[in-house]
């Protein structure tokens, strides 16, 4: 049988995630043959440009989606955080795996957490979402751009470019670098990105063979939560470059979704929350609430010209 080809970014975290999917597939069927096909994306290449200024959505997935559509790979493994709210015609997010830690992590040499940071300290993050929420509480801090894969960002911290940096806990944990985490942000303080901590599998919508192989890897609860967060993002017209945050949780048969849209300077943080059972309706409801409060204006001002 032809090997199943997994398209992935070439970063260590992306390779870990693709390998994780490969192993899960092989656990179910040891006779499968599964190859990884690593690729470099625009988001990996354009490191000099702040994320939110790079034009176009899906900078970390576009090349992989093209390879999928062209039949060069059979499935793509993504960080859900990097996947735009809409899939290209012919592709489908078939599976979302169980979520890792959703929180943002505080990483620093000298300081234990945000409270310990002196006035005017330099914090590295290229995420407008992290920047805005941190500045909301600590307008004195200097947030500076920080791009590159996890190891690159840690190296920039280690050489003294920043007093602290913020990274997703999930990435550090997966890479076995949990000991670098000095503390975790409470989700109330740094509400995560849509899909943060979750891995998704994208396939060609008409590829029933691959679909049946990957479907057993789906995690029901995570799927519901991430679909609610993504429905919110879709309604807002947002993507991971914008100061948009969301977290859905599943409790006793009910979904609870909290969403935020912030101005990049952190002065305005709009918040909305609702509960329900249908993830799409819930996501749309929370988005409508945020739009009522003026989220559209914040998002519009941030769209590249
Ligand atoms: N945009 C890069 C990216 N995409 C996914 C993760 C972390 C892992 C995850 O959220 O699943 C990261 C790094 C980071 O935010 O620190």
Task: Enumerate long-range contacts of 40-46, CB under 8 Å, 24 or more apart.
Answer: 40/9, 40/10, 41/9, 43/82, 44/9, 44/10, 44/11, 44/149
Q: Which CATH class, in words, describes the domain spanning 1-97+198-218?
A: alpha beta
Measured over the CA atoms of residue 67, residue 38, residue 165 and residue 192, the dihedral's sign is positive
CB neighbour list of residue 214: distance below 8 Å, 6 or more residues apart: 21, 25, 75, 94, 95, 201, 203
Same fold across 104-184 and 219-305: no
So what's the pLDDT on residue 56? 58
Return the percent helix, strand and coil in the chain, to nearest 5: 40, 25, 40
How far is ligand 1, taken at its centre, from the CA of residue 169, in Å?
Answer: 8
Domain ranges of the chain: 1-97+198-218, 104-184, 219-305
Q: Which CATH class, in words, describes the domain spanning 104-184?
A: alpha beta
Model confidence at 2, pLDDT cuts 50, 70, 90, reads confident
By most ligand atoms within 8 Å of CB, the mutation choice from 9, 21, 42, 79 for ligand 1 is 79
What is the arithmetic mean of pLDDT over 89-95?
97
Produce one character per residue of 41-79: b if its CB has 16 or more CB atoms within 10 Å, e if not.
Answer: bbbbeeeebebbeeeebbbbbbbbbebbeeeebbbbbbb
What is the arithmetic mean of pLDDT over 222-248?
92
Which atom of ligand 1 lies at the shortest distance from residue 197's CA? Answer: 11
Give the DSSP per-residue string, 64-99: HHHHHHTTS-SEEEEEGGGS-SSPPTTEEEEEEPPP
CATH hierarchy code of domain 219-305: 3.30.160.40
What is the arithmetic mean of pLDDT over 24-39?
96
How far is ligand 1, taken at its centre, from the CA of residue 196, in Å?
Answer: 7
Give the residue, by CA position, lying nearest to ligand 1 atom 1.
82
What is the arithmetic mean of pLDDT over 247-253?
94
What is the predicted ipTM? 0.90
Which residues participate in catalysis according to the annotation? 82
How far is ligand 1, taken at its centre, from the CA of residue 2, in Å?
Answer: 32
In 3D space, the residue among 196, 195, 190, 240 whose CA is nearest the CA of residue 51 turns out to be 240
Lowest mean per-residue pLDDT among 96-100, 234-238, 283-287: 234-238
So what's the pLDDT on residue 59? 72
Lowest mean per-residue pLDDT among 41-50, 222-231, 267-276, 283-292: 41-50
pTM: 0.93
Q: Is the confidence at residue 186, as pLDDT, over 90?
A: yes
What is the arithmetic mean of pLDDT over 273-285?
97
Q: How far is CA 207 from CA 63, 68, 69, in A?
A: 19, 11, 11
Give the DSSP per-residue string, 95-162: EEPPP----EEEEESS-SSGGGSPTT-EEE---HHHHHHHHHH-TTSEEE---S-HHHHHHHHHTTS-
What is the arithmetic mean of pLDDT over 38-48?
75
By most ligand atoms within 8 Å of CB, the mutation choice from 49, 107, 170 for ligand 1 is 170
Residues with CB under 6 A from ligand 1: 79, 81-82, 167-168, 170-171, 196-197
């Amino acid at each position: 049988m032809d090997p199943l080809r997994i398209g992935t970014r070439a970063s260590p975290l992306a390779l870990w995630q693709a390998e994780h999917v490969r192993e899960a597939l092989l656990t179910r069927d040891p006779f499968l043959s599964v190859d990884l096909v690593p690729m470099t994306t625009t988001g990996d290449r354009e490191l000099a440009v702040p994320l939110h200024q790079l034009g176009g959505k899906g900078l970390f997935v576009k090349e992989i989606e093209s390879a999928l559509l062209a039949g060069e790979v059979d499935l793509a493994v993504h960080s859900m955080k990097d996947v735009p709210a809409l899939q290209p015609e012919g592709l489908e997010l078939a599976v979302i795996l169980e979520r890792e830690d959703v929180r943002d992590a505080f990483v620093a040499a000298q300081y234990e957490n945000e409270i310990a940071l002196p006035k005017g300290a330099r914090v590295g993050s290229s995420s407008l979402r992290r920047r805005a929420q941190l500045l909301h509480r600590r307008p004195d801090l200097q947030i500076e751009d920080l791009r590159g894969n996890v190891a690159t960002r840690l190296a920039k911290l280690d050489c003294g470019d920043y007093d602290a940096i913020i990274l997703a806990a999930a990435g550090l944990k997966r890479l076995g670098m949990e000991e670098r985490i000095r503390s975790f942000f409470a989700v109330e303080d740094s509400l995560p990105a849509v899909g943060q901590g979750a891995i998704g599998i994208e396939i060609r919508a008409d590829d029933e063979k691959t679909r049946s192989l990957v479907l057993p890897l789906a995690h029901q609860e995570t799927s519901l939560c991430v679909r609610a967060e993504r429905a919110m993002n879709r309604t807002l017209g947002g993507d991971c470059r914008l100061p948009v945050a969301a977290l859905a949780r599943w409790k006793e048969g009910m979904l609870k979704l909290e969403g935020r849209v912030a101005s990049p300077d952190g002065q305005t943080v709009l918040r909305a929350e609702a509960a329900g059972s249908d993830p799409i309706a819930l996501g749309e409801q929370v988005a409508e609430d945020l739009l009522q409060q003026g989220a559209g204006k914040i998002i519009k001002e941030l769209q590249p010209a």
